[in-house]
Amino acid sequence: MSISAVIVVVIAAVASGAAAGYRLAPRGRRPARERPPAGRRILLPFTGPEISRRAFEATVRLAKAEGATIVPAFLARVPRYLPLDSPLPTQCSYGMPLIEAIEQQAAAQGIPVDARTATGRTYRDALRRLLEQERFDRVIVSANDSRRTGLSGGDLEWLLERVPAEVLILRPAPDDFERVSAAGPTRHSDLAEADAGDGRAAARGEPGTLVAAPS
């Protein structure tokens, strides 16, 4: 199934009304086991330093309407020659600023945010591990046409078929370049370099800023 077909299926489902990780240490966030039961939760996964503004705004509108918490989740890939619990400082330098930007913009509108990061061998693996550990009522994905970056068409199809939650996939119009980002434009080739940079740092034994949960 192509990414276009996946998006058509999701849009049709929404129109007809048809329409679970890793913790961030800053700000004293407590581990999931210590947190009180939460209400509705909307997962907003992303893989780079920016996301579509349309997807973010849709997430905000739904969170307001449902009294839900937004859960932005940065998906990071761990090279296969490294253990899954390896620190990934370079990739985090791309993802953490966007999490901060989402937190600030959502907080300005009175919407609670509970951010985290997830790691895996692939983006799908990172997302799968997160979804297995936590409960989410809805997953909103900002899609793109590139087969080399972000979640692929196969990943989106997997989401639709396997995830026990409502799934909304949004792809901006070709002429829609509005993004939510904490910094200036970043090339996706920089993300591939980030993967390699994390590998080099691990080989040198340098400390990192993100530690993965046990596999």
Where b means 16+ CB within 10 Å and e means fewer, 69-78 reads: bbbbbbbbbb
Q: What are phi and psi of 41, to 5 degrees?
A: -135, 130
164 located within any domain:
yes
User: Which pLDDT value is given to residue 38?
Assistant: 54
* CATH classification of the domain holding 124: 3.40.50.620
Query: Under a CB-based contact definition with an 8 Å cutoff, are residues 114 and 41 in contact?
Result: yes
List C-alpha distances in Å: 46 to 70, 118, 205: 13, 10, 28
Question: How big is the chain, counted in residues?
Answer: 215
34 located within any domain:
no
Q: pLDDT tens digits, residue range 126-140?
A: 999 999 999 999 999
12 located within any domain:
yes
User: Which pLDDT value is given to residue 183?
Assistant: 59
> What's the pLDDT band for 85 if we cut at 50, 70, 90?
confident
Higher pLDDT, 114 or 28: 114
User: Which pLDDT value is given to residue 135?
Assistant: 93
On the question of pLDDT at 118 being above 50, the answer is yes
131 located within any domain:
yes
Average of per-residue pLDDT across 88-112: 89
193 located within any domain:
yes
Task: Note if the pTM is more than 0.85.
Answer: no
User: Which pLDDT value is given to residue 1?
Assistant: 54
User: Which pLDDT value is given to residue 34?
Assistant: 45
On the question of pLDDT at 181 being above 70, the answer is yes
C-alpha–C-alpha distance, residues 39 and 105, integer Å: 20
C-alpha–C-alpha distance, residues 184 and 52, integer Å: 14
Domain span at residue 125 reads: 3-26+43-173+186-204
On the question of pLDDT at 214 being above 60, the answer is no
Q: pLDDT tens digits, residue range 54-82?
A: 899 999 999 999 999 999 999 989 888 88
Higher pLDDT, 184 or 50: 50
Count: domains in the chain: 1
On the question of pLDDT at 201 being above 50, the answer is no
On the question of pLDDT at 45 being above 60, the answer is yes
Q: pLDDT tens digits, residue range 137-180?
A: 999 998 865 555 678 889 999 999 988 899 999 887 777 778 88
Q: State percent of the chain over pLDDT 70.
A: 64
178 located within any domain:
no
140 located within any domain:
yes
C-alpha–C-alpha distance, residues 55 and 152, integer Å: 17
38 located within any domain:
no
